[in-house]
Amino acid sequence: MKLALLGPEKRTYSELRLLKECKQIFDTVTYFPIQKVVIEFDGELSVIYRGKNILDYDAVLPRIPRSYLHFGLTVLEMLKGTGIKMPIAPEAVLHTHNKFLTLILLARHEIRIPKTYLSLKRKALEFVLENVKYPVVLKTVYGCMGKGVMFADSKESAISIMDLLENLHQPVFVEEYVKNPGEDIRAIVVGERVVAAMKRKAKAGEKRANIGVGGIGENYRISEEESELALKAARALQMGIAGVDILPGKKRPCVVEVNVYPGLKGIEAATGVNVAKEIACYMLDLCSK
């Protein structure tokens, strides 16, 4: 079987781990740097890098950086209907890029999410600030690694953050604060299983639990309810591989984000699980379906 890994030119820990594990079980594994591929139509469609065509492979494992979202999406859309196996539907890339849209799609599948509001204008959302409990969460729609998540302790602070978002021509995204002790859960879904889960704890004085902003990850025994939630979220977004972020909540857990290309470094270090191998085996299974 032949696997193509479509990722950034500069490989990160995750791509290197995936390459290593995929090479153990696939006959051929080729790395296609997204910045260097050429999409051709010369009577036939092809996606070429150094004379190799992605369309000659059995499966494609995408790890496309956000900065190349639309080009990457074009490639994935081209692969639709060709018989090449992919772990995610191409539209999942677009849907999960937009955090607000992700939540809306999850809600449509009756997956618990925080109360959320979106508008281009701060004024249109001021009514929310009258009734909401503080702190309230303000986010950029396209942020990642905790950068773009802000907390406001009062209506006044919320308004100034909303003004900033509006001024930067960013949609104003307001979310109810889900009470938690500075902790969240990252569940890695591969196929029909949660293969690894970690609890991330925010550093002192910080509400965001992301490892990128100083949070610490530790192995977590995920509950059945949380596991079901993660699987349901991945299914709703048509993803066979997903990093689902869950806040335990007071009564029931809710999903705050779904990552289409979850990083492997933090989760492998925290849990000791060979997530890259799980993904490689899943890709091979897909090829036989």
Structural contact between residues 92 and 260, judged by C-beta atoms closer than 8 angstroms = yes
Cα-Cα-Cα-Cα dihedral of 11, 14, 17, 23, to 10°?
-70
- Residue from 175, 226, 268, 278 touching ligand ADP (CB under 6 A): that is 175
Phi, psi of 31 (to 5 degrees): -90, 120
For residue 218, give the nearest of 194, 195, 197, 202 by alpha carbon. 197
Of 65 and 143, which has the nearer Cβ to ligand ADP? 143
DSSP letter for 272, please.
-
Binding of ligand ADP at residue 209 (CB under 6 A)? yes
Cα distances (angstroms) measured from residue 166 to each of 118, 171, 259: 12, 7, 26
* CB neighbours of residue 100 within 10 Å: 17
The interface with ligand ADP within residues 78-107 (CB under 6 A) comprises 99
- Residue from 145, 154, 192, 193 touching ligand ADP (CB under 6 A): that is 145
Options 48-56, 57-65, 70-78, 201-209: segment touching ligand ADP (CB under 6 A): 201-209
- Residue from 177, 220, 261, 282 touching ligand ADP (CB under 6 A): that is 177
- Residue from 210, 220, 234, 278 touching ligand ADP (CB under 6 A): that is 210
Min CB(258)–ligand ADP separation in Å: 9
Q: Determine the length of the chain.
A: 289
Binding of ligand ADP at residue 237 (CB under 6 A)? no
Cα distances (angstroms) measured from residue 220 to each of 182, 194, 199, 212: 15, 11, 5, 19
Of 177 and 282, which has the nearer Cβ to ligand ADP? 177
The residues binding ligand ADP (CB under 6 A) are 99, 114, 137, 139, 143-146, 148-149, 175, 177-178, 180, 184, 207-210, 245, 247, 256-257
